[in-house]
Structure 1
Amino acid sequence: MNISIPSILLGLGGKCLLNWSLVFLQKNHICRSFLGVFSVSLTVVDTLLTLSVTALHGDGHALLGLKLTRYHVCLLVQIIGQVYSTLQWPVVVVAALDHFFTATRRFQSTNTRSRRVICLFVSGLLWSLAALYIFLLSGFRPVVEDVSHNQCWIFHTSQILHVTVFLLLTVSCAALHAWCSTRLLKIPPLNDQITNQSRAHCRGSVVHQALQIFLNTWALFLVFLAVLLLLPVVIPAYLGLNVAWLCFLNSLLIAVVLCAVCSRGLAAVPPDSFCEWRFKFSLAAEDRT
């Protein structure tokens, strides 16, 4: 799709403003998780992209003897958009593993500084691998011809909707499993089945409360995503990855992890600035039953 360069600058400027606002909103624990560190790196990359497009906008600019034109602006935005699209699923996988290790405290001996260094290293590695994939393996072909003056051809992204549908289906399956377990528990138990049924009640309660907490915060955002899914609306690739989406993804992954590990005993809840993950009973009660 063709988008004018001023419109691209306006979108990037608004995205940067939103990104920095959300980063400062979460400043107390933004670097306590992989998604927080990656959000900071994304904000920095978006800012550099916005400044670069602003500086290169128009003709006649020169850098190291190379004349830079609007074609270089279009090329830069297209490359960054493809990198953002490539990063969607790797970020989901790494963030899910990070939340799982936090919830189960697999690395209790890792201090805060070491954790930040690891998250920073993984973030840099993902950016580097995504860029290498785009240039060497993806067969990416930029479109910089046959566009009118002061416009760029921009690729769109659909990974956001794919990720959302997949994770919501996962949470729905967990909720269905908890509901079916609760229904089966209505059958009068034998004496040696009381402990198992108490644990099943605990698991079902965790799943129910996790979904309720998540929906109380993000219901309107889910409606917005549903509208994007049902209507023929396309998202420019350079806007697809943003801190608001990562905040939603953080809460959704926490809900998925809580549903997954509640049967093993929850040790800690990953940091979240939007959902208050407090339950009405002790999560350690399962082990004492």
Structure 2
Amino acid sequence: MNTSIPSILFSLGGKCLLDWVLVFLQKNHICSSFIGVFSVSLGVVDTTLTLIVSTIHLHSNGQFFLFGLQLTRYHICLLVQIVGQVYSALQFPLVVMTGLDHFCTISQRLQPVSSRPKQTVRLFVTILLWFLTALYIFLLSDFIPVLEDVSHYQIHQCWIFHTFQILQVAVLLFLTLGYATLYTGFSARLIKKSSLDDQITDQSRTGSRRTVISQTLSIFLNTWAIFLFSLAILLLLPVGIPSYLGLNVVWLCFLNSFLIGVVLCVVHPTLHLAQGLAAVPPDSFCDWRFKFSLAIFVITVKRLWYC
């Protein structure tokens, strides 16, 4: 897809502004999670890219010297294409690393484990992830830049690749939400059909987990319903997402909420959530407050006591 350089510059500027606004709104806990640290680094990369593109484009003769290197409008297209490929390749590693970070946060709070300096580790992992992804794009991927065969004085448009990784993550997300919905409905029927002798066992194993999953679904959907609707439209319509816009702080905040919900359902800390002891990772959008009926709470306590 050919896109004019002013359009690229305008969209990059809007993306940078939105990135830093969201980072500022989460400034109190932005470094308390891996995805928060990565959001700051993404804002820095976007800002650097925007400044370089703006300087080259606004220069009178279409060229600019940086550290003795002559940069022209060709480098605008090249930089945008490379950064877009890096953003696309980061989608699934970010999901994995964020999920592991949230799992460690919740699990360590459930068990009395001495805390470590996590911020340094998160910063190191963030830098390493950027480096390894860039290395993969340059050495291992089949990425080939597309540049027009014209003079740098005459080039006004750049070929922009679309990102498909974000759509793949979205499909996986919708499948997970569908499975969670089916599970809550099936487990509710299972509890109703259970015999009187097995009622305590079934409710302690199934009912409490169903309560966590159903409330997690409710909290997540009530917060991100409009965003999910927009994402579903993007999946249905043949509209491509430019690769340099595919990774942004809004998308990272959405992934953060989704992965917190997934980890809470997997770890299943019903008793600790009811007592307010579970460490829920920071989330500026979803209010992860769970409510449990007294019957389910007592049954869960009995199960833990007898175990």
Contact 2:194 2:202 survives alignment (8 Å) = no
For residues 159 and 9 of structure 1, the distance between their equivalents in structure 2, rounded to whole angstroms, comes to 23
For residues 12 and 99 of structure 1, the distance between their equivalents in structure 2, rounded to whole angstroms, comes to 30
For residues 18 and 62 of structure 1, the distance between their equivalents in structure 2, rounded to whole angstroms, comes to 29
Runs of 4+ displaced beyond 4 Å = 263-266, 282-287
Q: Secondary structure at the match of 1:141?
A: coil
What amino acid is aligned across from residue 108 of structure 1 in structure 2? V
Say which of 162, 183, 186 aligns to 1:180: 186
CA RMSD of aligned residues (A): 2.0
For residues 22 and 112 of structure 2, the distance between their equivalents in structure 1, rounded to whole angstroms, comes to 28
For residues 125 and 107 of structure 1, the distance between their equivalents in structure 2, rounded to whole angstroms, comes to 29
> Which residue is equivalent to 1:288?
301
For residues 91 and 112 of structure 2, the distance between their equivalents in structure 1, rounded to whole angstroms, comes to 25
Quickly say closer, same or farther: Cα 1:194–1:82, change in 2 above 3 A: same
For residues 274 and 5 of structure 1, the distance between their equivalents in structure 2, rounded to whole angstroms, comes to 34
Contact 2:74 2:155 survives alignment (8 Å) = no
Q: Secondary structure at the match of 1:126?
A: helix
Contact 2:148 2:155 survives alignment (8 Å) = no
Cα deviations by residue, 1:127-176 (Å, 9 ceiling, x for unpaired) = 00000000000021111124773111111102112112102212321332
> Which residue is equivalent to 1:4?
4
1:190 is displaced (CA, Å) by 3.7
Q: Secondary structure at the match of 1:61?
A: strand
Q: Which runs of 5+ in 2 are unaligned?
A: 273-277, 303-307
> Between Structure 1 and Structure 2, whose CA radius of gyration is higher?
2
Q: Does 1:209 align with 2:215?
A: yes
Quickly say closer, same or farther: Cα 1:278–1:223, change in 2 above 3 A: same
Cα deviations by residue, 1:244-279 (Å, 9 ceiling, x for unpaired) = 000011111111112212178653211100000001
Identity, % of aligned pairs? 63
Quickly say closer, same or farther: Cα 1:2–1:281, change in 2 above 3 A: same
The alignment's TM-score, normalised by the length of structure 2, stands at: 0.88
1:192 is displaced (CA, Å) by 5.0
What amino acid is aligned across from residue 138 of structure 1 in structure 2? S
Say which of 251, 257, 266 aligns to 1:260: 266
Cα deviations by residue, 1:8-27 (Å, 9 ceiling, x for unpaired) = 11000000000000001111
For residues 117 and 253 of structure 1, the distance between their equivalents in structure 2, rounded to whole angstroms, comes to 22
Contact 1:3 1:152 survives alignment (8 Å) = yes
> Which residue is equivalent to 1:20?
20
- Matched residues, number: 287
For residues 243 and 166 of structure 1, the distance between their equivalents in structure 2, rounded to whole angstroms, comes to 20
Contact 2:5 2:157 survives alignment (8 Å) = yes
